Structure 1
Amino acid sequence: MIYYWILPQGAKLVVEEIPYVKSVAIGVYIKVGSRHEKENMAGASHFIEHMLFKGTEKRTARDIAESFELIGGQLNAYTSKEYTCVYARTLDENIYQAMDIIFDMIFNSRFAAKDFATEKGVVIEEINMYEDTPDELIHDLFTQSLWQDHAMGRPILGTLETVANFSRDEVYHFYKQNYIPSNMVISVAGNVKADKIRPQVEFYLNQFDGKNYTLDSNNQDKPYATVPFITLLPRDTEQIQICLGAPGISYWDKERYTQHVMNSILGGGMSSRLFQTMREELGLAYSVYSYPSNYSDTGSYAIYIGTGPNKIKQFFAAFYEELNRFLGEGVTEEEVYRTKQLLKANMYLGQESVTNRSSRMGKSVMMYGEVVPVEKVMEEVLKVTPAMVRDLAAKLLRPEEISLAAIGPEKVLQEVQHEYKKWFKKE
C-alpha cells in the first residue's frame, strides 16, 4: 500500500508499506542541483552534499559513521543537475534511529571552518581524479558543449577554480536557502507503518531552524542546445574517447516511453545493435553504448565509444552505416517485442528491492507530483510500435544535427575531426 501526503511544512511524503520484508529504505530528495548555481558557485550543491557528513551540533563525522554501522545500516548521498539525494537502508527495527541521523544531517550540519577547508581539498582531489578518467570526463565535455553558457552544461563537481574560491558563508547561505521542507520529497519503503512514519517525519521537519530563509532558485531559464558542434580535448591517452549526440527530450515528453524502447534497441544493452556490431562483430571497442538524459525542460541523447587510435576510420564508417540503417529501415516487430519484455522484466525485478522502490517513488513525486504506477509505465511501453521508434529516431538522430566531443592525442583528434566531417558533414 502506498500513501502520499503534502505535509503542512510543504514537504511531500510518500510511504510504501511492504510487510513481508525486514528492511526499510529512505530517501530525502532536495530539489537543488548544479543547474541552480550561479557561475561563481559552480559545484556548491555537490560540496554541500559532502558537508552533510562532516558533523552537526549533536554528532561528529565519526559519530554519524559509527551510528550507522552500529545499526548495520547503509548511508550515502549523491548530487545531480536538478536535485540532491540523501538515502539509507536499514533493518526495519532501526528506521527511526536512521531518520534521526539523516534529518540531523540535513537540517543541522555545522559547516565548521576547519571541516570546510579540509573538504575543499577532498573535492579538489575528486575533480583531479575525474579529470584523470577520460572515459567519464568525455560525457561532461559533451554536455558542456551542448549547453554552452548555461548551468546545465557545467560539471556537477564544479571546477578547481570555483571550489578553491568557495566562501564558507556563501555556501552555508546557499545550503540554508535550499534545504528547507518545502523543497523536499521524502520517500520511505519497507516494513513500516505509514501512520507512524508521518508524525515522525513531521516532528523532524518542525525542528527546521531556518525559518528566515526562503527558497531562491537560480538559473531556472531554459537552456538551449548549441548544435552541431565539434569539441576536441587533447590528452595523452591510449584510447580515443568519443561522444556523438544531439539534443533530446524532457522527462515530461510523451515520447519518453518510445525513447526507452529506441535506446534499448540502438545501444542500451548487450543485445543492442551498436554493441553487437561495434564490439561483437567488428571488435572496435570494449565499451560502446547509447544513453538519453532527460530533465525538467530539456534533454540530450548521446552515443559513447572508446576505441583505439588505429580504428577511427573503421569506427566512423561502421557507425554511420549503422545509424543510417536504423533511420532508414527502422526496427523490426521482433526487436520491439523483445525490448518490451526486457524492460518489463527489469522494471518488475527492480521492484524486489526496497531501495529501488523508495528511489522510484521519490523521483516520481519529485518530477511528476505523483507516484506513477509501474503498471501505468508498462501500459505506455507496451503501446510502442516500430513506426513510433522510427519517427522518434528521425527526430532525435538526424545526421546533420549530430555533434562530436572527443578526448585523445592531438594528432589522432585531427583524424577524428576529419572522419566526423567526412561522414556527417559530407565535405
Structure 2
Amino acid sequence: MTWHLPLVADGEPGAELTAGQDGATIRRTILPGGVRVLTEQMPGQRSATVGAWVGVGSRDETDGHFGSTHFLEHLLFKGTTRRTAMDIAEAFDAVGGEANAATGKEHTCYYARVLDTDLPMAIDVISDMVTSARLDADELETERGVILEELAMNDDDPGDVAHEEFSAAVLGKHPLGRPIGGTPDTIRDVPREAVLEHYRWHYRPETLVVTAAGGVDHETLVDQVTEALTAGGWSLDEPVAPRARRSDVEDLDGVPTEGVALTIRRTVEQANIVIGSTGLSATDDRRFALSVLNAALGGGMSSRLFQEIREKRGLAYTTYSFASGHGGVGTFGLYAGCAPAKVDQVTDLLVSELERLAADGITGAELDRSIGQLSGGLVLGLEDSGSRMSRLGKAELVYGELLSVAESLERIKAVTADDVRALAEDLAARPRSVVRVGPFGD
C-alpha cells in the first residue's frame, strides 16, 4: 500500500506499515514541537544509520546569506556548547562508526552509521550539533579557508565544472541555478551574523526530520530523540505543525526561455560536454517513465549512448544521461568526455540519439531491459541501512508518500514504450543548452 505522509499527526502515536518482503516495519511519529521521526526496523541488523534532515538547501538562501547552508554543514562539526570538534570526532571513532553530512539544493542531512548498541550516542551527538552549534567566530574563519579549498578542488575537475555550469545555464536566475557550495566570492563575503541568522531561522523543530533504519526500535528512538533535543534547549511542548513541504507547482521563474551555448577553457587533455534542458520536477507523475528513458538512453553499458559513442565508435570512455528533480522544476542532460578534436562529432551523436528516441521510441527489448535494470537496482540499493534511512528522509521531505518496494516495482513495470517516446519528444523539444569545458582556442 502507498503510505501518504500527512503534515499533522492523525491521533495515533505513530503510523505503521510493513514494507517489502523482509519483514521490515516502518513507523512515523510527529512530536508536539513539529519534529518528525521515521524509522525502519530491519530484523537481524546489528547496525543502524540515523540521519537528521533539515529542510533547507542552497535554493533557500537569500541575498546576503549565499553560501550559508554549506557553511553550516561544516560548522556543525566544529563544536557545540557541550562538545569540542575533537569530542565529536572521537565519539564516532571510538566505536568504529562513521559520521558525515551532505548539503543539497533543497535539504541538508547529518548522518551516522553505528552499531545498534551505539545508536543512543549517535542520536545524542547529532542532536547536540543540530540544536547547539557554537558557530565560533575563529572556527568560522578557519572553515572559510577550508571551504574555499574545497571549491578550488572542484574547480580543478573539468567534469564538475561542466555539470555546475550546465545547471546554471539551464536554470539561469532561478534559485536552483546557484551552486550548492556557494562561490568563492559568496564564501569570502558572507559574515558570521548572516550564517548565524540562517541557522536560527532554519534549524528549528518544525523543519527537522529524524530518520533511522537498521537495528532500531521506534518507541525507544522517539524517546531518545525527544530527550536529546530537549537537552539541546529545544521546546517540544507546544503543538506546532511541521513546516509544509515545498510546492510541486511548476516554477520556471528565472529559467531562460532559450538555450545557452557556453565554452569554458581549461588546460586539460580531454573535453567535457554536457547537453540538456529543463526536466521534470521531483513529484511529476512521469518520473518513472523518465527513469526508464534514462536507463535506455544512457544508464548502463547496453544503453544507446554507451553503445553508439563508446562501443561502436570508440570516441569516449565515459558517456551517460542523467536527470535531477526538484520542487517545481528539474534538469535532464547528456554527458560525454572525449578528445577535443572530436567534440563536434560527439555533440552531434548525443543530440541525435535523444532525437531518435523522440522520433522512434524504444524497442520492446530495450523497455524490458530498462525495467529489469531499474527493478534490480531498486532492490539491491535497499540492502544497507543507509539507503533505507535516506529513502525515509526523501519520502517525508520531497514526495509526501512512501511506496513499498512492491509498489515502486509496479510503477516501474507500468511504464510503456509510448510513455517513454512521448516524454522523449517533450524533452527533445525544450530549449537546449550546451556546455563544453576543455583546451579550446578562440
Q: What TM-score comes out, normalization by structure 1 length?
A: 0.91
Distance in 2, matches of 1:258 and 1:315, equals 26
Aligned to 2:431: 401
Q: How many Å apart are 1:251 and its aligned residue?
A: 1.2
Matched position secondary structure for 1:401: coil
Answering whether residue 47 of structure 2 is matched by residue 17 of structure 1, we say no
Aligned to 1:116: 140
Deviations 1:220-275 (A, max 9, x none): 99344213111222222221111100111101110000001000000112221101
Distance in 2, matches of 1:313 and 1:55, equals 51
Aligned to 2:105: 81
Change (3 A) 1:76 1:402: same
Deviations 1:311-335 (A, max 9, x none): 1232133334323322222101111
Mean CA deviation greater in 200-209 or 41-50? 200-209
Answering whether residue 303 of structure 2 is matched by residue 272 of structure 1, we say yes
Q: How many Å apart are 1:216 and its aligned residue?
A: 10
Q: What TM-score comes out, normalization by structure 2 length?
A: 0.88
Change (3 A) 1:264 1:62: same
Aligned residue-pair number:
408
Answering whether residue 320 of structure 2 is matched by residue 289 of structure 1, we say yes
Distance in 2, matches of 1:144 and 1:174, equals 23
Aligned to 2:71: 47
Kept in 2: contact 1:113–1:168 (CA 8 A): yes
Structure 1 unaligned residues grouped into runs of 5+: 415-427
Kept in 2: contact 1:186–1:362 (CA 8 A): yes
Distance in 2, matches of 1:83 and 1:376, equals 26
Kept in 2: contact 1:246–1:402 (CA 8 A): yes
Answering whether residue 251 of structure 2 is matched by residue 222 of structure 1, we say yes
Which AA in structure 1 matches 2:438? G
Answering whether residue 216 of structure 2 is matched by residue 192 of structure 1, we say yes
Answering whether residue 274 of structure 2 is matched by residue 243 of structure 1, we say yes
Answering whether residue 419 of structure 2 is matched by residue 392 of structure 1, we say no
Q: 1:127 aligns with which of 138, 146, 151?
A: 151
Q: How many Å apart are 1:384 and its aligned residue?
A: 0.5
Kept in 2: contact 1:39–1:151 (CA 8 A): no
Deviations 1:95-133 (A, max 9, x none): 001111111111111111111110000001111111111
Q: How many Å apart are 1:54 and its aligned residue?
A: 0.5
Which AA in structure 2 matches 1:337? D
Answering whether residue 131 of structure 2 is matched by residue 100 of structure 1, we say no
Q: 1:157 aligns with which of 161, 174, 181?
A: 181
Aligned to 1:56: 80
Aligned to 1:425: none
Distance in 2, matches of 1:323 and 1:370, equals 31
Kept in 1: contact 2:65–2:198 (CA 8 A): no
Distance in 2, matches of 1:184 and 1:50, equals 18
Matched position secondary structure for 1:394: helix
* Percent identity (aligned): 37
Distance in 1, matches of 2:440 and 2:42, equals 56
- Which structure carries more helix by proportion? 1
Which AA in structure 1 matches 2:365? E
Q: How many Å apart are 1:151 and its aligned residue?
A: 2.0
Distance in 2, matches of 1:2 and 1:312, equals 49
Change (3 A) 1:39 1:406: farther
